[in-house]
Chain A
């Protein structure tokens, strides 16, 4: 099973700041990685797929990068609605999710 490790577990930032979230795979997954956003009491929402492609309705301030084993989700300037939990997910071999990164207001 491919294990995805997300860091940090919690990121405390202020609105307007830049957020950088990391996801590391236990073996190479090429670019088969997605990022999801989940707000309290809501279902997750797909933000990024194939490591760097924004899903429909994903704002341009969200960008994804990486390939192989190391991936990054960047939020260029945090808006109030961006404070949430973010999960990465790989589709290279079966499907597994990372443990999540909570982006909280500092």
Chain B
């Protein structure tokens, strides 16, 4: 059974940077596309971006609100997914979930999430 554990969340000031990580286990990480999905407090779900498999080119895709500010990477040797966030805005405040992404972008497995708070 796939297990995903996010860590690295915390409080940061607007304009600051933060890196989230996700430790994956229970499946062959290198064979799976991975995504980040976020949820602002009391709000709905928002897809942040994803990374394809390394064998597939490791291409990344991002939603419009984060493109140019966020970078997704993966380390298949450590079964770890990362999300580097810079130029953070108050509207980036959310719980960030690490997910497995299959077929047409369906989010099959989810971590428990890590909270990022952007506030002065």
Contact = CB atoms under 8 A, between A and B. Distances in A.
A42 B61 CA distance: 26
Nearest to A87: B45
Interface residues of A, dominant DSSP: loop
B106 A97 contact: no
Given A43-B110, A43-B111, A43-B112, A91 B104 contact: yes
A99 B43 CA distance: 8
Given A43-B110, A46-B108, A89-B107, A97 B45 contact: yes
Interface string A56-89: 0000000000000000000000000000000101
Interface in A7-53: 32, 34, 36, 38, 42-46, 49-50
A45 B113 CA distance: 13
A89 B45 contact: yes
A44 B107 contact: yes
Interface of A: 1, 32, 34, 36, 38, 42-46, 49-50, 55, 87, 89, 91-92, 94-100
